[in-house]
C-alpha cells in the first residue's frame, strides 16, 4: 500500500466547529494509524468572507486539540498561478473551452429550465466557437455526455451518477480564479492525496471532481463520505443546540483530549469501549468502523466525558490546563507547585469542567475567605466556640492523617455533645467559607496546620463579632 496522505481543507470564513473538527480528527487519525502524512490547507479563495482572524482561530484550535500537521498550512490564494497553469493545459489539449455567455443570460436560461421542470445545465452555446482567453470569458471543462460516473466509497460501496446529470461546468472564472471543484482537485493531485475523508454533503461534488481527474489522466484518491453531525433533535447542528466553536469549548473548561475522545465517538466505535486516549485512537482507528447513521451531538455526554478525563488525568497535566483559568484571578507565583497539585487532587473528582475546578479551588488561593451567609449563621454559633478553640490548640500536635483526624473529631463530638456532622460543617465553613467542599481531612492536609489554625481563629472572631 502506498503511503497514506490525507488532508483537512477548512475555509477561513468562520471559526472551527465540532463538525469540521471531527472531519480533521478522522483524517488525522487515519494518517497517523497508517504512519502516513496529514496535510493542512486553507481554502481561502472566497475573498469577501475569508478573514485572517479565522485563519488564526482555526490554526489555534487544531494546535490546542493536538492535531498536528506534517505539511502546510497551504493557502489556495497563494496558488492561483498553479491552478491557471493546469487549466491552460486542459484548454490546450481540447478538454476545456472558453465561454463568453454573460451571467444575466445564464441566469435567465436557468430560470426557464426550472420553470419547465428541467434540471438547470449549461447548453454548450460556446462549445464549438473556438474562443480563446479574453475579458469576461470563463473556462469550462468538457463533461462526458453519456454513460455513468462511478466511484467506490470506502463506507458506502459503489456510488453511480448518470453522466448527463453533470454539465460543462466552469473550472476557471472570468477573473482568472479557480472554482472550488477545480482548485480542490489540483491541490489533491499536487499534494499526492491518497484518501479524502469528508462530510457526506460533498458526495454531489464527487462526480465533477472525478471528471477533472479523468481529464488529467490521474488516478483519483479513495473517498470516504462520513455522515454529518446532527443536533439532539435530528436537525442540522447549530448554536441553538448549545454547540460552540472549538476555542469556545476551551474557554468553557474542556480538556482537549476529552473533546478528541468525544468527537471520535461521534459515529465511530471500537467494541463497547467509551473512553480512549489519543494513543489508543491512533492504534484502533479504522474508517470502515464509522457508522453510516448520522451522529447526534449530546452536550450532557460531552460533559460526562470531560468529567471522566478530569477525574483520571495526571495532576500536572490538569495544572497546565487550569493555569489560564486560575491566573485570571490569582497570582499563582505565591504558591509552591506542590501545593497547587495537592489542591487539584481534592477537587478533580467533583468538577465537570476546568471552570468548575478553578471555582472549587478558590478557598485554597485567597488570603481572606468570605462565608456563605446562611451556612455561617447555622454553624458558626456561640456553642461552637469551645470546640473550635480546642481544635486550634490540639492541631498543633496532631498528625494530619485521615484516620487520626477522624478519631480525633469523633472523640471531640462525643466530649462536647455535638453531632460529628455539625462540628465538621462548622470547620468546613471556617476553612472554605462554603457548606459543600472536598473532604474535610483532605482540606486540612492541603492547607496545612498554620493556615487551618489561622482560619479557625478568624471563624472564632466572626462568632464573637456577630453573637456577643
Is residue 100 within 8 A of residue 174, CB to CB? The reply is: no
Alpha-carbon dihedral 284, 287, 292, 297, rounded to 10 degrees: 60
Secondary structure string (H, E, C) spanning 149-180: EEEEECCCEEEEEEHHHCCCCEEECCCCCECH
Q: Is 139 helix (H, G, I), strand (E, B) or coil?
A: strand
How many CA atoms within 13 Å lie on the side-chain side of 274?
7
Distance, CA of 465 to CA of 458 (rounded, Å): 10
Q: Is 298 helix (H, G, I), strand (E, B) or coil?
A: coil
Distance, CA of 200 to CA of 317 (rounded, Å): 36
The CA distances from residue 375 to 276, 422, 450, 467, in Å, are 41, 11, 24, 15
Distance, CA of 32 to CA of 6 (rounded, Å): 10
Strand order in the sheet with 170-172: 96-99, 138-141, 170-172
Active site residue: 239, 311, 329, 393, which one?
239
CA 454 to chain centre: 44
Strand order in the sheet with 157-162: 157-162, 148-153, 222-226, 195-199
All three cell numbers of 63, joined, read: 494546535
What is the C-alpha end-to-end distance of the chain, expressed in Å? 84
Closest CA to 63 of 321, 247, 266, 324: 247
Distance, CA of 107 to CA of 232 (rounded, Å): 39
Distance, CA of 106 to CA of 53 (rounded, Å): 36
Query: Is 421 known to be catalytic?
Result: no
Distance, CA of 149 to CA of 405 (rounded, Å): 77
Query: Which residues participate in catalysis according to the annotation?
Result: 239
Amino acid at each position: 500500500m502506498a503511503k497514506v496522505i490525507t488532508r483537512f481543507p477548512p475555509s477561513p470564513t468562520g471559526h472551527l466547529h465540532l463538525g469540521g473538527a471531527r472531519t480533521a480528527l478522522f483524517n488525522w487519525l487515519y494518517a497517523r494509524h497508517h504512519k502516513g502524512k496529514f496535510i493542512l490547507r486553507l481554502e481561502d479563495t472566497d475573498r469577501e468572507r475569508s478573514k485572517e482572524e479565522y485563519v488564526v482561530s482555526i490554526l489555534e484550535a487544531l494546535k490546542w486539540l493536538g492535531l498536528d500537521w506534517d505539511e502546510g498550512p497551504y493557502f489556495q490564494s497563494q496558488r492561483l498561478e498553479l491552478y491557471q497553469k493546469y487549466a491552460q493545459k486542459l484548454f490546450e489539449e481540447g478538454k476545456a473551452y472558453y465561454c463568453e455567455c454573460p451571467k444575466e443570460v445564464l441566469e435567465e436560461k436557468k430560470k426557464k429550465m426550472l420553470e419547465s421542470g428541467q434540471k438547470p445545465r449549461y447548453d454548450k452555446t460556446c462549445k464549438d466557437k473556438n474562443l480563446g482567453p479574453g475579458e469576461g470569458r470563463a473556462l469550462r471543462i468538457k463533461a462526458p455526455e453519456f454513460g455513468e460516473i462511478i466511484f467506490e466509497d470506502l463506507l458506502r460501496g459503489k456510488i453511480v451518477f448518470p453522466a448527463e446529470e453533470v454539465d460543462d461546468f466552469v473550472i476557471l472564472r472570468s477573473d482568472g480564479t479557480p472554482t472550488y471543484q477545480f482548485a480542490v482537485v489540483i491541490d489533491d493531485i499536487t499534494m499526492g492525496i491518497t484518501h479524502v475523508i469528508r462530510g457526506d454533503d460533498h458526495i454531489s461534488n464527487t462526480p465533477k471532481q472525478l471528471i477533472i481527474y479523468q481529464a488529467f489522466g490521474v488516478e483519483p484518491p479513495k473517498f470516504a463520505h462520513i455522515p454529518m453531525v446532527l443536533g439532539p433533535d435530528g436537525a442540522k447542528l447549530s448554536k441553538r443546540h448549545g454547540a460552540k466553536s472549538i476555542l469556545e469549548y476551551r474557554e468553557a473548561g474542556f480538556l482537549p483530549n476529552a473533546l478528541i475522545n468525544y468527537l471520535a465517538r461521534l459515529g465511530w466505535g471500537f467494541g463497547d469501549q467509551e473512553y480512549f486516549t489519543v494513543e489508543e485512537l491512533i492504534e484502533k482507528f479504522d474508517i470502515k468502523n464509522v457508522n453510516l447513521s448520522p451522529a447526534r451531538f449530546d452536550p450532557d455526554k460531552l460533559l460526562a466525558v470531560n468529567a471522566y478525563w478530569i477525574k483520571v488525568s495526571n495532576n500536572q497535566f490538569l495544572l497546565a490546563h487550569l493555569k489560564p483559568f486560575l491566573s485570571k484571578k490569582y497570582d499563582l507565583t505565591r504558591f509552591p507547585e506542590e501545593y497547587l497539585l495537592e489542591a487539584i487532587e481534592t477537587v478533580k473528582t467533583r468538577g465537570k469542567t476546568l471552570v468548575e475546578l478553578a471555582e472549587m479551588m478558590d478557598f485554597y488561593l485567597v488570603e481572606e475567605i468570605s462565608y456563605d451567609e446562611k451556612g455561617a449563621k447555622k454553624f458558626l454559633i456561640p456553642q461552637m466556640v469551645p470546640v473550635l478553640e480546642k481544635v486550634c490548640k490540639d492541631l498543633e500536635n496532631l498528625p494530619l492523617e485521615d484516620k487520626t483526624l477522624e478519631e480525633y473529631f469523633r472523640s471531640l463530638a462525643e466530649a462536647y455533645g455535638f453531632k460529628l456532622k455539625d462540628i465538621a460543617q462548622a470547620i468546613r465553613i471556617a476553612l472554605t467559607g462554603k457548606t459543600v467542599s472536598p473532604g474535610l481531612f483532605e482540606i486540612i492536609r492541603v492547607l496545612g496546620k498554620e493556615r487551618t489554625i489561622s482560619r479557625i481563629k478568624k471563624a472564632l472572631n466572626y462568632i464573637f463579632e456577630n453573637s456577643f
